[in-house]
Chain A
């Protein structure tokens, strides 16, 4: 693979990665958000794959495969399962066509509306580029120059986490944050050592499992998964 193709493909993957994060902000249907997150996983897995091809390192391609399975398969599956348990399947048959309760499947009223969210995403991307200047200066390479994208996705993840009201949308925010950090690690230093990567992935899967179980309990205890209804504890 020539240097030019490598740079172009890397930039394409980073662009898709950032775009997916913005699309998450745009979506309001939770199934669509989860689907977008899975697509972002493909873009993320492409980063170590391209780096592995470029640096001729087999283990990076193996890591890419692992990341792909985890972020496009396992994590979206866990979230979809949580969603299925929250939203009862529509009852088919005469007289039951309109009883489906869709409120749990939508991000009804985010704290910040969609237009303002997109504007904020643009500002956060600019901020990421400003903050990442010393990082890019340290080792100018095609991968390092794309590094601000990872930080931008991380900031957008934080934004989703703090402004979305559905429990599952918050989980997606947390995972966007994590995707952003993983991408930063790949772009900056071709990923952290394998033992750390494995441990982090394991922790993330467990955290999502825990959050999935807590979402179900929240539904049982509060009758909704709206975070704004968590008002039992305060001073």
Chain B
């Protein structure tokens, strides 16, 4: 790859989303179509493909801007996952925003702010993935916290403000610890006579690992795992995760859960590569195994008693992040490729699950599992998509998660991690049962009758919105001139407005705009499970531990 081409293709994933955010800020008067949001994820994907070819063709990894940005197999893999998840989330955004607008919870300004923040979020994530300098990586990850704060707190309700506050305070304080770790690594590198300009570049640190002071590196690694672990949803600083993921708009929850957690975990992997060379693999292995097991146990305990389906999905993210951390702890090439495959499969499946849950929330007006019954009968398309996405998250074949969890178990037993693998297997099975029972309660069951909608009572943790079904009951005059949202009664059967209370509700069709991203996401997740195809080379290159 020529230097110019590397500069261009490394700049595209960062610059295009940021430029899109700028354009959305500038166009105050005329609202751009929500579909323009697809442009920058496509640019990220294209850059990912080009960089993947460059990385796999051998030779020097592409670098740009005096080594600030750099692509290797791992960063390209994560970049592709970010692009794919962002494309699904961007495709789900128009239907989500139309639904919010139809409910009167959003207007043109809200939609514009949403687009600005989501694009800035995407740009910051891509910068974090491609940064070679650990300091720049930190700045980019902290920037994602700041940008998403107002997406988490977009409703201004008490629950929303509380979630945003906890999110910003816990994540900022948590990754401040990671910054201290990076400062200490810098100190060790400077003491090892590495020049100032390169002392934070992780490839340089990997190359000169033999000269770093072990005691300082040990402290730094612990701080980095703790700090970036906070942003990756690992204990002990995980408390923000269920709140933030349940309050954010559905496509943003998908991005946060599907890729932001993994991007932060990539930062841990970068430091692990350095620490393993300085301290031997035992130290990070112990640290990550302990963190992963604790996270998994906590997530499973809270999944067992969960009554809120968005929080259920959030805890399921913690469960999957702990599996990824365990893969990194095992650290063999097989375990690493399983962990990376798991990142991709989880990203896709969780995106579908969160986007579908957003539609369920708009349709039923509550996040309580107990109040969403008979989803399959009421909205067959939506119910099927949600059910399939949860099945994919449960790692049933042909989901990509099946392949990765199987490989992970094999790698763990091969690397004499039998006791940990057995504990994990037990916990994952418990989580399986909890998720399956909760989801079945949502999908099956009697269809509540028209007019017997949820009573507006104080519902504790659950979100209460005006359900779309009730909204559709108002005469069409109110809907004139405004977008109607994706929920229209099927065919030309009479709408619910004309039905007397007590008769079953008419099944709700999902609509093309809302359904297509879900179908595509499920298809991609299944394809990943059947055959990684052209991605196999990239995956095995990315899984080689500690190679700069």
Contacts and interface: CB of A to CB of B under 8 A. Distances in A.
B169 A170 contact: yes
B219 A134 contact: yes
B179 A235 contact: no
A89 interface: no
Interface string B155-168: 01111011111101
B519 interface: no
Interface string B47-84: 00000000000000000000010000000000000000
A127 B133 CA distance: 31
A12 interface: no
Contact of B157 (A131, A203, A221): A221
- Give the interface centre of B133, B139, B213, B216 by most chain A CB atoms within 10 Å: B139
A94 interface: no
A117 to B, nearest CB: 18
B315 to A, nearest CB: 9
Main secondary structure of the interface of B (DSSP, over half): helix
A214 B165 contact: yes
A196 interface: yes
A5 B161 CA distance: 50
B216 A138 contact: yes
Contact of A200 (B68, B139, B186, B243): B139
B156 A233 contact: no
B176 A235 contact: no
Contacts of B302: 235
B469 interface: no
Contacts of A233: 159, 162-163, 166, 242-243, 246-247, 461
Contacts of B265: none
B165 A218 contact: yes
A221 B158 contact: yes
Interface stretch (B13-21, B144-152, B369-377, B383-391): B144-152
Greatest chain A CB density within 10 A among B157, B166, B184 is at B184
A93 interface: no
Nearest to A198: B139
A134 B213 contact: yes
Contact of A203 (B68, B139, B182): B139
Interface residues of B, number: 55
B75 to A, nearest CB: 19
A139 B311 CA distance: 48
Contact of B149 (A131, A188, A210, A227): A210
B190 A196 contact: no
B139 A193 contact: no
Given A139-B191, A230-B166, A232-B158, A134 B215 contact: yes
Contacts of B142: 200, 203, 207
Interface string A183-220: 01100110011011001101100110011001001101
A170 B161 CA distance: 16
Interface stretch (A46-54, A74-82, A173-181): A173-181
A196 B200 contact: yes
Given A196-B133, A217-B156, A230 B176 contact: no
Nearest to B247: A233
Contact of A138 (B133, B168, B182, B187): B187
Interface residues of A, number: 44
B461 A234 contact: yes
Contacts of B157: 221
A227 B179 CA distance: 26
B200 A174 contact: no
A70 interface: no
Contact of B184 (A139, A188, A199, A220): A188
A202 B142 CA distance: 10
A222 interface: yes
Contacts of A221: 156-158, 161
B161 A181 contact: no
Interface in B77-114: none
The A contact surface, by secondary structure, is helix
Given A206-B146, A210-B150, A200 B138 contact: yes
Contact of A189 (B179, B186, B246): B186
B180 A192 contact: no
A152 interface: no
A158 interface: yes
A207 to B, nearest CB: 5
A87 interface: no
A125 to B, nearest CB: 16
Contacts of B446: none
Interface centre among B168, B183, B188 (most CB of A within 10 A): B183
A202 B138 CA distance: 12
A233 B215 CA distance: 41
B158 A192 contact: no
A135 B180 CA distance: 13
Given A188-B184, A196-B135, A218-B161, A134 B172 contact: no
A195 B132 CA distance: 13
A146 interface: no
22 contacts: A131-B219, A135-B216, A138-B215, A174-B173, A177-B176, A189-B190, A192-B183, A193-B196, A195-B136, A196-B136, A196-B138, A200-B142, A203-B139, A207-B145, A207-B168, A210-B150, A210-B168, A221-B157, A221-B158, A222-B158, A230-B166, A233-B461
Given A192-B135, A195-B135, A211-B169, 6 more contacts: A138-B191, A177-B173, A177-B176, A200-B142, A214-B168, A233-B166
Interface of A: 131, 134-135, 137-139, 154, 158, 161, 167, 170, 174, 177-178, 181, 184-185, 188-189, 192-193, 195-196, 199-200, 202-203, 206-207, 210-211, 214, 217-218, 220-222, 227, 230-235
Interface of B: 68, 133, 135-136, 138-139, 142-143, 145-146, 149-150, 153, 156-159, 161-166, 168-169, 172-173, 176, 179-180, 182-184, 186-188, 190-191, 196-197, 199-200, 213, 215-216, 219, 242-243, 246-247, 302, 305-306, 311, 461
Q: Which 4 residue pairs spanning A and B have beta carbons closest together?
A: A196-B135, A199-B139, A134-B215, A188-B187
